[in-house]
Amino acid sequence: MIVRPLEVQHLRAVAALHCESLPGDFLPSLGPRFLEVLYRGMLELDVACGQVALDGANVVGFVIGTLDSAGLFGRVLRQRALPLAWHVARALLRRPQLLWPTLETVLYPSKERAAGIPDAELLVIAVQQTKRSSGVGERLVDGFEHDLRRRGAAAYKLTVLERNPRAQRFYERAGFTRAHQFRLYDKAWLLYTKSLAQPRAAQESTDG
């Protein structure tokens, strides 16, 4: 298995894995084609950082994020407005109750704003069920952090559902610190941050 930078040819499989792994989340409810268009826009506009885990030619995990979560949706929506609106409209016709979560998603960066909170963000990480607990998630995070450092980020953030203690333990083991709580989609979320001052391997050798 290898972990390498996310590229356009991976996006269809990444979108399918996102929907399969996180079916209760809002963005997968808009469908895999919406996600594929969104992620393509992020890559082509160079506002995304991403890694994929490949088992042969198969995508078994991915992580995607950005250096600027506040400006991300604005840039992608401006440049990809028509295809994104088409897929959102189709989803709303099937499920009108998605209207409010759609609006919340556009406004969501304001939920995270607080003094000292970094702009860079890990947006989504997913691993195929059969590959979980095998170190794939850790390798994806390591690759993502390497990319963020290369692009000049000093720290980054991510959000986790308060009712997901397993994910919280994963990120706390990886060196994240809980910053604050907020509400989105009528659910409680925790925001975590992590400094990128030095790679994890260097931290472990220093601690040892």
Contacts of 13 (CB under 8 A, 6+ apart): 58, 59
pLDDT value for 47: 86
- Tell how far CA 159 is from the center of its chain: 9
By CB neighbour count within 10 A (0-12 exposed, 13-18 middle, 19+ buried), where does 145 fall? buried
Q: Is 5 helix (H, G, I), strand (E, B) or coil?
A: strand
Least Cα distance to 160 among 119, 112, 106, 208 occurs for 112
Report, as ranges of residue numbers, the positions in the chain whose pLDDT lies below 50.
Answer: 201-208
| Phi, psi (degrees; rounded to nearest 5) at 28 | -60, -25
pLDDT value for 132: 85
Q: Which two tokens stand for residue 30?
A: 């808009």
Inter-residue contact 145 to 102 (CB < 8 Å):
no
123-166: pLDDT as tens digits: 999 999 989 888 999 999 999 999 999 999 999 999 998 999 99
Hey, what CATH topology would domain 2-207 get?
Aminopeptidase (3.40.630)
pLDDT value for 176: 95
Inter-residue contact 193 to 179 (CB < 8 Å):
yes
How far CA 147 is from CA of 99, 153, 166, in Å, comes to 34, 9, 25
pLDDT value for 207: 44
pLDDT value for 160: 92
Q: Is 45 helix (H, G, I), strand (E, B) or coil?
A: coil
The strand order across the sheet containing 177-184 reads: 2-5, 49-55, 58-66, 121-127, 155-161, 187-195, 177-184
> Between 99-107 and 69-79, two packed helices, what is the crossing angle to 10 degrees?
120
- List the domain boundaries for the chain: 2-207
Consecutive H or E run containing 196: none
